Amino acid sequence: MTQPFADWPLEPVSKDDERVTSFRMLLAVIDRLRAPEGGCPWDLKQSEVSMGPSLVEEACEWIDAIDTGDALEAATEAGDVLMCTLLMCRIAQDEGRYDLGQASLQSAIKLVRRHPHVFGDVQQTESEAVLEQWEDIKRAEREAQGQQDQSVLSGLPKGLPALTRMARIVSKTTSAGFRWSSVQGAWDKIEEELAELRETVPQAALAAERKPELAPESVERIESELGDLIAAAAIFGNYLGLDPERACRLAAQRFELRFRHVEAALGERLQGAPLEELERAWKAAKRS
């Protein structure tokens, strides 16, 4: 094998591996869809930019399928994510920018470089230490590339879902040493932020049915404190080793399922039902 494989620490997966065969089948389909003659007009019209939303949507559908526990559905959605990736790489190839081989190679090289405890002489058995090592290596990479932004938060996508981005920020900052000594610190922060939110919300607003009239300065303060409370909850989840985005997603699913039970139970009476009846219906939905 030629460079960069001369000193490669692994043998490539066998061509007889069933995964490789299936991957080649999908790759052949993508190449045919992008063929100038006999290809698909829609696929030929796409760009990396136009395919971006599809990649995000398919990734979200994959996560939803994982949450359901349906292995076949998860495999199907994983395939859709892979399809988007291959198609985007083929589009880049057609434009002379890069191809799937380059993308795969760069990822492999990066993974080997950032896992010296697997492919090198470094001894590491704790996952937390591995994460810190990963961030140290990334920092060294940025310095070697002459990047101006040397923060551990460099490169963190701003378009991530808010809870996911908060969790990633906390993961990176704690690895850098900015952390409480125990989970208690994260819990205390929730109570602190809740108290500060209470102080900003006028009593009259609490007495309103919903969407009370608030002065602009009050809206700004409340929004800020509410954001801090939500962020503190995300941080607490991270300290427990939980994904706050998943926790919120599952909570939304539970709320939707229970509300559908309430809808079915009350029917047309839902709109004007007294609070006591709504609460009984909700508790019945939780029990079911």
Distance between CA atoms of residues 168 and 158, nearest Å: 11
Q: 10 Å Cβ neighbour count for 80? A: 17
pLDDT band at 149 (very low <50, low <70, confident <90, very high): confident
Give the CATH number for residue 97.
Answer: 1.10.287.1080
Within this chain, do residues 216 and 134 fall inside the same structural domain, yes or no? no
Size of the chain in residues: 288
Crossing angle of helices 216-239 and 162-175, in 10° steps, is 60
CB contact at 8 A, 26 and 79: yes
**pLDDT tens digits along 220-265:** 999 999 999 999 999 999 999 999 999 999 999 999 999 999 999 9
Q: Is residue 277 part of a domain?
A: yes
Burial 187-198 (b: 16+ CB within 10 A, else e): bebbeebeeebe
Within this chain, do residues 23 and 56 fall inside the same structural domain, yes or no? yes
Range(s) of the domain holding residue 258: 254-287
Distance between CA atoms of residues 59 and 67, nearest Å: 13
Q: Is residue 3 part of a domain?
A: no
CB contact at 8 A, 88 and 97: no
Within this chain, do residues 172 and 213 fall inside the same structural domain, yes or no? yes
Q: Is residue 180 part of a domain?
A: yes
Return the amino acid letter for 29: V
User: How far from 46 is each of 43, 53, 60, CA to CA, in Å?
Assistant: 5, 12, 21
Distance between CA atoms of residues 194 and 40, nearest Å: 55
Q: In terms of pTM, does the model score above 0.85? A: no
**pLDDT tens digits along 86-143:** 999 999 999 999 999 999 999 999 999 899 999 888 888 888 788 888 878 887 887 7
pLDDT at residue number 2: 45
Q: Is residue 8 part of a domain?
A: no
Q: Is residue 7 part of a domain?
A: no
Structure tokens at 17: 């591996």
**pLDDT tens digits along 37-53:** 999 999 999 999 999 99
As for how many domains the chain has, the answer is 4
Within this chain, do residues 23 and 106 fall inside the same structural domain, yes or no? yes
Q: Is residue 79 part of a domain?
A: yes
**Token pair 């989970």 is at which residue?**
183
Give the DSSP letter string of 63-117.
HHHHHHT-HHHHHHHHHHHHHHHHHHHHHHHHTTS--HHHHHHHHHHHHHHT-HH
